[in-house]
């Protein structure tokens, strides 16, 4: 793209910066002198700083957060969405009626979609398959078309999200902003985010902490702040499995940050210290931030907060540390804020302090054989005998031939007292029929490491019992009575 990205005029238009952010917060006035912004685009940027008193209580300084989720589209990427669109218009590469094609993990898509909606462009976004359904739905809600591509392929693979977006961008009148290559990305942060932070801290800032995806934020903010204060430290927060902090590249679940290549929008020299953070640490910290600060944040905010806290632990009480929080937790309600999703991915969270599913199983002792169960070919009469013998109201049904050591995959369904009663009333001959004929859906399954809350959610949602499994092996059945007995005896 033949464009001078340092041309201040572009950003004057795009980010509504009629004045330098260093001069003070923007106040928009309409022709009647009212404080009314001309449109949503003018409200991008100028996000507030807030002290994170509670999260910082165990480290000497109080960490300050820049709340990028308060941008109109809900993330830091609003800033570059509009900037890249207007830079392309100025360069003549995006013309009226054009289509914007971009590989994006979601937030840049929303930023671009808002700009496109205001300016009448069509949008096609290409996303990796790990991106949450919530984010995909969100981009579609703004009127964008979304193409989902596999993550487990090389960037050069024709199915990768980079390759697919390249092909779509070759279509006539299509324009690919390409946030990983577009220098308007870091430059937006040199001209908006960096100066805002400098002004908001009164120039009292010792360290800036952020996650690194395209590297636009770290590069732009880092360059601006270091020019003002060469002694400033930039701390890069990087997921385990990302190339940036030197890890062996492998898949991870936190979205929007870390990379398996070095994009030209990232200047690695700007980062002084890398902090490598696991998915578990990131997600637990995001949830903690929401619960303790009342600030609903996304997974990569957790990564940045873990990095900020580790760094802060080494600093004096008067150190001024700013961490940038890119987006809100609303985009992740079905992921890191969902207990079942967390447990399914092996992330243990004891929200209520009540213990784990495995604790209740252990407390039951060995009064019962491991798991009383039935096979589909047994007769209904035999099922009733077993229910009576063990004084239980439901039982799992395992695939024929499975005795001890059943796995989750062996579970075919269940028999339940109330359904048997129903069947017996309707058909007196049911007693000699196979269990297969009265089979009910499987009982919900929970990991022994899962918090008890998860089993309780199933039980209060109508399940008569849940099956507990240890890494896939079924080890017990849990009822409300079992949970009550455990809680009473604790
Ligand atoms: C959720 C989230 N966090 C952090 C980032 C990283 O920002 P940058 O691309 O400027 O490095 C992104 C970028 O996509 C993101 O979506």
The mean per-residue pLDDT over the stretch 346-358 comes to 71
**Closest residue (by CA) to atom 2 of ligand 1?**
256
Q: Is the pLDDT assigned to residue 175 strictly greater than 90?
A: yes
Percent share of the chain, pLDDT over 70: 93
Q: Is the pLDDT assigned to residue 10 strictly greater than 70?
A: no
Q: Which atom of ligand 1 is nearest to the CA of 300?
A: 3
Q: What are the helix (H) ranges across 18-127?
A: 77-91, 107-119
Q: Is the pLDDT assigned to residue 220 strictly greater than 90?
A: yes
**Phi and psi angles of residue 288, each rounded to the nearest 5 degrees, phi first:** -65, -40
**Are residues 85 and 146 located together in one domain of the fold?**
yes
| Binding pocket residue ranges, ligand 1, CB within 6 Å | 105, 107-108, 211-218, 255-257, 298, 300, 326-327
- Return the pLDDT at 292: 94
Residue located via tokens 């009733």? 384
**Are residues 215 and 68 located together in one domain of the fold?**
yes
- Grade residue 14 by pLDDT with cuts at 50, 70 and 90: low
457 inside domain: yes
- Return the pLDDT at 349: 61
Q: Specify the range with the lowest mean pLDDT, choosing from 89-103, 311-325, 400-414.
A: 400-414
- Grade residue 449 by pLDDT with cuts at 50, 70 and 90: confident
- Return the pLDDT at 20: 80
SS3 label, residue 83: helix
Q: Is the pLDDT assigned to residue 105 strictly greater than 80?
A: no
**How far apart (Å, rounded) are the C-alpha atoms in residues 486 and 469?**
18
Q: Is the pLDDT assigned to residue 106 strictly greater than 60?
A: yes
Instruction: Give the CATH number of the domain where residue 129 resides.
Output: 3.40.50.1100
Instruction: Give the CATH number of the domain where residue 354 resides.
Output: 3.10.580.10
| Total number of domains constituting the chain | 3
20 inside domain: no
Considering the chain, what is the average pLDDT of its residues? Answer: 89
Instruction: For 257-298, give the DSSP string.
Output: ---SS--TT--GGG--EEEEE-HHHHHHHHHHHHHHH---B-
Q: Is the pLDDT assigned to residue 291 strictly greater than 90?
A: yes
Q: With contact defined as beta carbons under 8 Å apart, do 147 and 180 qualify?
A: no
The predicted-structure confidence for 40-63, as pLDDT tens digits, reads as follows 888 899 999 999 999 999 999 999
> Which of 133, 149, 175 delimits the end of a domain?
175
- Grade residue 352 by pLDDT with cuts at 50, 70 and 90: low
Q: Specify the range with the lowest mean pLDDT, choosing from 114-123, 258-267, 279-288, 386-395.
A: 386-395
12 inside domain: no
193 inside domain: yes
The residue with greater pLDDT, 297 or 160, is: 297
- Grade residue 348 by pLDDT with cuts at 50, 70 and 90: low
**Are residues 212 and 160 located together in one domain of the fold?**
no
Q: With contact defined as beta carbons under 8 Å apart, do 318 and 312 qualify?
A: no
**Closest residue (by CA) to atom 1 of ligand 1?**
256
> Which of 274, 304, 339 delimits the end of a domain?
339
133-141 and 107-119 helices, crossing angle to 10°: 10
Q: With contact defined as beta carbons under 8 Å apart, do 383 and 440 qualify?
A: no
Supply the range of the domain harboring residue 443.
349-489
Interval between CA 222 and ligand 1 midpoint (Å) = 15
Interval between CA 214 and ligand 1 midpoint (Å) = 7
**Are residues 216 and 277 located together in one domain of the fold?**
yes
Question: Looking at residue 180, what DSSP letter applies?
Answer: T
- Return the pLDDT at 1: 47
Q: Which atom of ligand 1 is nearest to the CA of 179?
A: 9
Hey, what's the torsion of the CAs at 402, 405, 406, 407, to 10 degrees?
A: -140
Point out the residues that are catalytic.
77
- Return the pLDDT at 340: 84
The mean per-residue pLDDT over the stretch 62-71 comes to 98
The mean per-residue pLDDT over the stretch 392-421 comes to 86
**Closest residue (by CA) to atom 6 of ligand 1?**
213
Q: Specify the range with the lowest mean pLDDT, choosing from 156-160, 212-216, 296-300.
A: 156-160
The mean per-residue pLDDT over the stretch 416-434 comes to 89
Q: Is the pLDDT assigned to residue 483 strictly greater than 60?
A: yes
Q: Is the pLDDT assigned to residue 200 strictly greater than 50?
A: yes
- Return the pLDDT at 6: 59
Query: In the chain, how many H helices and how many E strands?
Result: 16, 15
- Checking 427-431 for CB contacts under 8 A at 24+ apart, the result is 430/380, 431/379, 431/380, 431/381, 431/384
**Are residues 67 and 206 located together in one domain of the fold?**
yes
Short-list 7, 49, 5, CA closest to 25: 49
- Return the pLDDT at 16: 45
- Return the pLDDT at 366: 60
Q: Is the pLDDT assigned to residue 208 strictly greater than 70?
A: yes
Give 20's contacts (C-beta < 8 A, 6+ positions apart): 195
Beta strands in 129-224 (DSSP E): 145-149, 174-175, 207-211
- Return the pLDDT at 353: 65
**How far apart (Å, rounded) are the C-alpha atoms in residues 490 and 488?**
6
Q: Is the pLDDT assigned to residue 371 strictly greater than 90?
A: no
**How far apart (Å, rounded) are the C-alpha atoms in residues 118 and 110?**
12
**Are residues 62 and 169 located together in one domain of the fold?**
no
230 inside domain: yes
Q: Is the pLDDT assigned to residue 17 strictly greater than 50?
A: no
Q: Which atom of ligand 1 is nearest to the CA of 215?
A: 11
Q: With contact defined as beta carbons under 8 Å apart, do 186 and 263 qualify?
A: no
61, HSE (Cβ side, Cα atoms, 13 Å): 21
The mean per-residue pLDDT over the stretch 255-270 comes to 96
> Which of 155, 175, 195 delimits the end of a domain?
175
**Are residues 392 and 484 located together in one domain of the fold?**
yes
**Are residues 138 and 252 located together in one domain of the fold?**
no
Say how many C-beta atoms besides its own lie within 10 A of residue 86's C-beta. Answer: 22
Percent share of the chain, pLDDT over 90: 58
**Are residues 92 and 136 located together in one domain of the fold?**
yes
The residue with greater pLDDT, 21 or 68, is: 68
- Return the pLDDT at 199: 96
Residue located via tokens 């077993």? 386
**Closest residue (by CA) to atom 15 of ligand 1?**
256
């Amino acid at each position: 793209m033949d464009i001078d990205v340092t041309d201040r005029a572009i950003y004057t238009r795009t980010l509504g910066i009629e004045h330098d952010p260093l001069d003070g917060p923007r106040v928009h006035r309409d022709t009647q002198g009212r404080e009314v912004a001309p449109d949503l685009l003018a409200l991008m940027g100028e996000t507030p700083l807030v002290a994170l008193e509670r999260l910082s209580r165990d480290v000497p300084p109080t960490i300050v957060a820049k709340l990028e989720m308060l941008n109109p589209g809900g993330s830091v990427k609003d800033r570059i969405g509009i900037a890249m669109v207007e830079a392309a218009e100025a360069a003549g590469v995006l013309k009226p009626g054009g289509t914007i094609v971009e590989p994006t993990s979601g937030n840049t898509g929303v930023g671009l979609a808002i700009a496109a909606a205001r300016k009448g462009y069509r949008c096609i976004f290409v996303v990796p398959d790990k991106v949450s359904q919530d984010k995909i739905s969100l981009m579609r809600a703004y009127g964008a078309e979304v193409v989902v591509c596999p993550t487990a392929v090389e960037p050069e693979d024709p199915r990768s999200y980079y390759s697919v977006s390249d092909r779509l961008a070759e279509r006539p009148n299509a324009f690919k902003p390409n946030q990983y290559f577009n220098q308007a990305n870091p430059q937006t942060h040199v001209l908006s985010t960096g100066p805002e932070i400098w002004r908001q801290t009164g120039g009292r800032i010792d360290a800036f902490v952020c996650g690194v995806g395209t590297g636009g934020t770290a590069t732009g903010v880092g360059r601006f702040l270091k020019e003002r204060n060469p002694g400033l430290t930039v701390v890069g927060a990087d997921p385990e499995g990302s190339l940036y902090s030197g890890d062996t590249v492998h898949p991870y679940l936190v979205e929007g940050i870390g990379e398996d290549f070095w994009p030209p929008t990232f200047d690695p020299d700007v980062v002084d210290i890398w902090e490598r953070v696991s998915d578990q640490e990131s997600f637990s910290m995001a949830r903690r931030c929401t619960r303790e600060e009342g600030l609903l944040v996304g997974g990569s905010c957790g990564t940045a907060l873990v990095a900020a806290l580790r760094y802060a632990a080494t600093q004096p009480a008067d150190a001024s540390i700013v961490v940038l929080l890119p987006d809100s937790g609303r985009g992740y309600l079905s992921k890191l804020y969902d207990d079942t999703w967390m447990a399914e991915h092996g992330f243990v969270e004891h929200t209520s302090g009540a213990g784990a599913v495995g604790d209740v199983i252990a407390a039951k002792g060995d009064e019962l054989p491991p798991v009383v169960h039935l096979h589909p070919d047994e007769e209904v009469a035999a099922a009733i005998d077993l229910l009576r013998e063990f004084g239980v109201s439901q039982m799992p049904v395992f695939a024929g031939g499975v005795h001890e050591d059943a796995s989750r995959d062996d579970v075919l369904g269940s028999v339940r007292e109330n359904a048997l009663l129903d069947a017996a009333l309707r058909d007196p001959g049911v007693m000699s029929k196979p269990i297969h004929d009265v089979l009910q859906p499987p009982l919900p399954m929970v990991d022994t490491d899962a918090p008890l809350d998860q089993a309780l959610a199933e039980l209060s949602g109508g399940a008569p019992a849940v099956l507990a499994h240890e890494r896939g092996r079924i080890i017990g059945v849990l009822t409300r009575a079992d949970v009550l007995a455990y809680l009473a005896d604790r």
